[in-house]
A and B are shown apart, each in its own frame.
Chain A
């Protein structure tokens, strides 16, 4: 199976703190993407990092990619209550044009 794994499965922090979520995968990839799902809503694309990139920033988001360890991390700085959601990593792996998702991390930001 090429499915990714994420940890932690659930994370609860105070508003203003930083949140870090990790993702591991098994096969060679073209890129890795992070998505957010607010309760009852669709998946929102957050950021994409290519296999030849090691770090990428977008606003309060920072993504790293370590292809030697087949892992990625998503850091959300200065968290806000509105960041409460489920976060999924998805790999676009070589040889197939489809995304393989991890099980997600449920992030709760406490006011």
Chain B
């Protein structure tokens, strides 16, 4: 089966611009998660979708971040306007069950650089 796909793999934008990251989960996976790792720090949870609904968005840093999952398939994460501290790697993961003992399948991540 195809894995979790994220694009772009890299994005370099100027401060103040807008960037949209996309994640395509494994087909049939209702649960979709966004995480990010800012430089040198731990990987942190951003939010969790179950189908098209936001189950938990407690990790979203501020209102410059907007995540959507229309139709319960792919998801987008928009950062508008981007700030320097938004630089990092954004990971998406999906799972079939709400607590999947097979672990989560992560995408390769999008490396975002804000200059």
Residues of A within 8 A of B (CB): 3-4, 30-31, 33, 35, 40-45, 48, 50, 88, 90, 92, 96-104
B103 beta carbon closer than 8 Å to chain A: yes
Please, how many angstroms separate the alpha-carbon atoms of A29 and B55 in the complex? 20
A92 and B99 within 8 A (CB): yes
- Closest partner residue, chain A, to B37 (CB atom): A101
Min CB–CB distance A10 → chain B (angstroms): 12
Q: A43-B91, A102-B42, A103-B41 are in contact. Are A97 and B105 (CB under 8 A)?
A: no
Asked whether A45 lies within 8 Å of B42 as measured between CB atoms, the reply is: no
Residues of chain B from 77 to 115 with CB closer than 8 A to chain A in the complex: 91, 93, 98-99, 101-109, 111
* Interface size, chain B (Cβ < 8 Å): 28
Query: Could you write out 11 A-B pairs with CB less than 8 Å apart?
Result: A35-B103, A42-B108, A45-B106, A97-B31, A97-B48, A97-B99, A98-B33, A98-B56, A99-B45, A103-B41, A104-B42
Please give 16 more A-B residue pairs, beta carbons under 8 A apart, in addition to A88-B43, A97-B99.
Answer: A4-B42, A41-B108, A43-B43, A43-B93, A43-B109, A45-B103, A45-B105, A90-B43, A97-B31, A97-B55, A98-B45, A98-B56, A99-B33, A99-B104, A101-B44, A103-B42
Q: Mark B1-17, 1 if CB is under 8 A from A, else 0.
A: 00010100000000000
Partner of A43, one of B45, B55, B106, B111: B106
Q: Given the complex, which residues of A lie within 8 Å of B93, measured CB to CB?
A: 43
Nearest-neighbour CB distance to chain B for A61, whole angstroms, equals: 13
A50–B56 Cα distance when bound, in Å, is 23
A98's partner among B41, B59, B91, B102 (CB-CB below 8 A) is B59
Q: A104: which B residues are within 8 A, CB to CB?
A: 42-43
What residues of A have a CB within 8 angstroms of the CB of B56 in the complex? Answer: 96-98
Given A96-B56, A101-B42: A45 touches B108 (CB 8 Å cut-off):
no
